[in-house]
Amino acid sequence: MNCWTRREFGCIAGATCLTALTPRAVTGQAKARIVVIGGGVGGATVAKYLAMSTATVDVTLIEPKQHYTTCFFSSLYLAGLRSFESLIHGYEGLAQRYGISIVHDSAAIIDPVAKTVGLESGARLPYDRLVVAPGIAFKYGAIEGYDEAATQTLPHAWTAGPQTMLLRQQLESMEDGGVFVLVAPPNPFRCPPGPYERASLVAYYFKQYKPRAKILILDAKDNFFGQELFQDAWSRHYPGMIEWLPAQFTGGIKAVDVKGRSVKTAGDTFRAAVANVIPPQMAGQLAQDAGLADQSGWCPIDPMTFESKLQPGIHVVGDAASAGEMSKSAFASNSQAKVCAFAIAASLTGSERFPPHLFNACFTIVAPDDAMSSAIGYQAATGAIKISDFFLSKVGEDAETRRRLVREADGWYAAFTKDVFG
């Protein structure tokens, strides 16, 4: 495994647009009908990059929501460091600049024999190639008492939108001196540093407005991504405010009491003023219903093309995919989507295929002037996706480096959302 320097990391993190496909050539061929299900990071990127490709295609993107709200940077909104509106992105760019047909509906059923997608409205869309990118679903019931109704009292806020706003309202109305309990999920889950970044940013909010409040993280795991970096940041910025209890200490998270607003572990019951319960996860429901997921709950794919190993002819990208050692992140979903778009375009045009380059990079903000970063490169040549290059910030970096990373994170958000949504 190689280790990247900070300079090389900067190149990777800023390189989201460099892999753009060449503009579509005008040919006399019949157009291939590409249907993409899910207008999140993975689906929107596949749709855009296929529409830009040299292949002759008609691209349709199915997404029930009128706008997409990013999970990434949503904890900055919880901290009061970003507006909710700044997280929202429309689909007009994809429609107007790239000619993608946007259908605001939910895909209800996939018929892989007839090659059609049935929509909740009753309409049926035929396809030549199908890409499925539904993100995640939650394993309700894995924590006793935590079902969909419970999310209205104990929000997960792990898909962005009303849940994020609800959690912010609860933080605002919480009394000073209360305990914010954050339940962190088992692996694999969306955004490995996410729960700990959220704890950091909620601590920042408390430091401003509720300095006697405490944060208790009840973890389903015994360690987490970037642990040393987070614990260093917590001791520097929020001494005595954040306590992390691993599963080996509590015996694991067993149940919630919604009315009592409490979380039960094997040995204790923890009462919360506000509880943010992030449950175990699996591929989005449509992927489960369509037979794309295996017993792990995620969708096995061929890493060269992101074609399903269970349903040939259907591709899966983003968090729903079981992509070897790749994290479930927006950056990774975007990288997978480009590989998938190239593979589909290559098979339609008969052009040469290249071994895919897959990346993940992440900025994690722990205070308004302190961010850390990670960048990971992957190889997919041996049939599995494995880490080949790795960079992670270090404990003890100087304050200016950390301040610069906050500025770079802002720039990344703007460039990345432009790359995804046009």
Ligand X SMILES: Cc1cc2nc3c(=O)[nH]c(=O)nc-3n(C[C@H](O)[C@H](O)[C@H](O)COP(=O)(O)OP(=O)(O)OC[C@H]3O[C@@H](n4cnc5c(N)ncnc54)[C@H](O)[C@@H]3O)c2cc1C
Binding-site ranges for ligand X (CB under 6 A): 37-43, 62-65, 68, 71-72, 74-75, 106-107, 133-135, 158, 190-191, 194, 198, 284, 286, 318-320, 328-331, 333, 362
Q: Quote the least distance from Cβ 68 to ligand X, whole Å.
A: 6
* Residue 11 parent element (H or E): helix 6-13
CB nearer ligand X, residue 171 or residue 262: 171
Q: Quote the least distance from Cβ 38 to ligand X, whole Å.
A: 3
DSSP 339-371: HHHHHHHHHHHT-------EEEEEEEEEETTEE
CB nearer ligand X, residue 154 or residue 262: 154
Q: Quote the least distance from Cβ 22 to ligand X, whole Å.
A: 24
Q: Which of 226, 223, 229, 233 is nearest to 201 (CA)?
A: 233
Q: Quote the least distance from Cβ 266 to ligand X, whole Å.
A: 27
Q: Quote the least distance from Cβ 27 to ligand X, whole Å.
A: 30
CB nearer ligand X, residue 178 or residue 197: 197
Please identify the residue of the shown chain whose CB is closest to the bound ligand X: 40
**Angle (nearest 5°) at CA 90 between 88 and 96:** 160
CB nearer ligand X, residue 271 or residue 418: 418
CB-based contacts of 4, cutoff 8 Å, min separation 6: 12, 375, 377, 389, 390, 391
Q: In what order do the strands lie in the sheet with 179-184?
A: 242-245, 214-219, 179-184, 274-277
Q: Quote the least distance from Cβ 383 to ligand X, whole Å.
A: 22
CB nearer ligand X, residue 200 or residue 262: 200
CB nearer ligand X, residue 305 or residue 327: 327
Q: Quote the least distance from Cβ 35 to ligand X, whole Å.
A: 10
Q: Name the token pair of 175.
A: 């009394």
CB nearer ligand X, residue 56 or residue 415: 415
Q: Which of 326, 290, 284, 335 is nearest to 308 (CA)?
A: 290
The alpha-carbon radius of gyration of the chain (Å, integer) is 21
Amino acid at 328: K
- Angle at which helices 330-349 and 399-421 cross, to 10°: 40
